[in-house]
Structure 1
Amino acid sequence: MSNPRERQRMFDVFTSHGFSDVTVFGEAFGAGIQKGVRYVPGDEVLFRAFDIMVAENFVTYDLFSALCDEIALPRVPEIWRGEPSLAAFDALLEQDSAEAKRNGVIAEGNVSEGVVVRSNPLLRDVFGQWLIIKHKSDKFAEVVKRAPGNKVDVGPAQAFAEMFVVEGRVHNALGRLRDRGVAVENDMADMRVLVPEVIADLLKECSTEWQQAIAAGMSDKQIRAAVTKNLGTVYRHMLIARVT
C-alpha cells in the first residue's frame, strides 16, 4: 500500500473480520528481478500477494482471495484446483506465464517459473512444517532431473553438488542478493557473495540430502568444496551464455 488512505482501508478490512495480528506475504517482480521470464512490458516493478497469516496460522485460500479483493490488493493468479497428482502438476509447467499475459506481455517462450502448490486450508506435516511446495519448470529447476538408472560414478559430495547446484538455484540466489542491495558484477568476482548465499540456501532447503552425504562418509568441508567447485562451473557457463 503506497499511501495512508490505502493503508487505512487495509486496516479497516482486517479489523472488520476481527483480525489484529496480520502478516501479508507477497513477492515483487518485474524489471531487474527475475531472469529468464518477462512479467511486465516496461521497467516497472509490481507486487502480488500470495498468502495472509493471522497470528500463527494462514487463512484459507478462499478467505485470502476475498480479503485481497476487499482491499484491492493484487494477488498471484490461481491457475488450477483439483485432486493433487504429479501428472496434474506437470501439466501446469512449460506454459506461458499467466501473470505476464495478465500484464499484457505475450511472447513466444515466455514460460512461467513454475507453480506453488498448497492445500486449502493449508496443512502441516508431522514436524509442524507448512505443506507448500514449488513445482518448477526445467528452465528454473533447482535440482537436476536424471533419467531412472542413469547413475554417475562420483563421490557423495560431488553427486550432491551436481544434483542441487544448478542454474535455477543460482538465478534465485542472484535475485536474493540484488534484493538485499548486494552488488552483483556479472563476472566471476561474484563468487565471493554467491558461494555463501548458495550454501546457506542448500543448508536450508536440502539439509536432509546434505546429512545423507555426511552419513556416506563425506565431511562438511568436502561438501562445501564440491558445492563451490560446481557453482564456479555453473556460473561461468551462465556468464558465457549471457554474452554470446
Structure 2
Amino acid sequence: MLTLTVTWNQAPLNLYKRGSYFLTGTVTLPSGILNPENLNSTLEVGVLAKPAPQDVILSNNDFDPDPKNYFQVIGNFTVIDPIDKEHTITLVPGAGDNQYFEVKEDILFWSSAEEVSGKTQFTVVIRVTDRDGNVIEKSFTINRGRTDITELEIFNSFTPNGDGINDTWGVPDLRYFRGVRVQVFDRNGERLFYTEDADTRWDGTYKGKEMPVSTYFWVVEVIETGNVRRGILTILKN
C-alpha cells in the first residue's frame, strides 16, 4: 500500500455557507513514480448549516437633533455570533420608522431632512444576515431629544445687510415641536412678521420695506406644550 501526499486547493470551500464543495488536489509523487495523464485527486466536502446569529445590539439609541445636519451618527451595531464574524446589516424596507434612518458600515444614522414635528421616539427594524443565509430581525427604539422651549437659544440681534452672514432671524429648533407660532412686533405693537413654519426666517423687512436699526419684540408659542416666550430683537446694520 502506497500513501501519497495530496495538496488540496481549498479556494472553492466556504466553511460558513452550507452546501457541497468539490476540491481538487495535486498528488506529490515519490521518485520513480510517474503520472503521464496528469491525473488529479478530487474530494467532495459537505458543509453543514450553521446556527443563526444569537443577537444584535446597538451601542446607543439616543441623539439630539441638529437642524443644520440631516445626517447624524446614532450608534454602532454589534452582532453576537460565536461562529461567524461577517454579517450584512440592513433596515427592513417599510418597517417601523426606517424611512428616516440609514445603515452604513454597521453604523445607524439619522438620514432625513424631515422634522417629524412632535415625535421624540422612533422604531427601527434591523435585519442581520450571515454568510449561511440565516436571518434574524430585531426592533430598536430610538429616542430623539429636544431642548425645552424655555431653554432654547434665541438670538437677540441680526444684521440684514446682504453680506450673507447673519442676514435673517429665526428659531430653527422649533421645527421639532408640533404647532408653533413666531411673531415679531415693532414698538407700536404692529406685527411685522408671522410664521407657523420654524424653518421660515425673518429678513428684516415689512411689506417689502427694510426696517430701520431699532429694537423689536418677538413672541414664540408652542401649541404642543402650551409654552410662550417673549424677548427683544435688535436690527443692526454694519
TM-score between the two structures when normalised by the length of structure 1: 0.21
Higher helix share: 1
Look at both structures and tell me which one has the larger radius of gyration over its CA atoms.
Answer: 2
* Larger fraction in strand: 2
TM-score, structure 2 length as denominator? 0.21
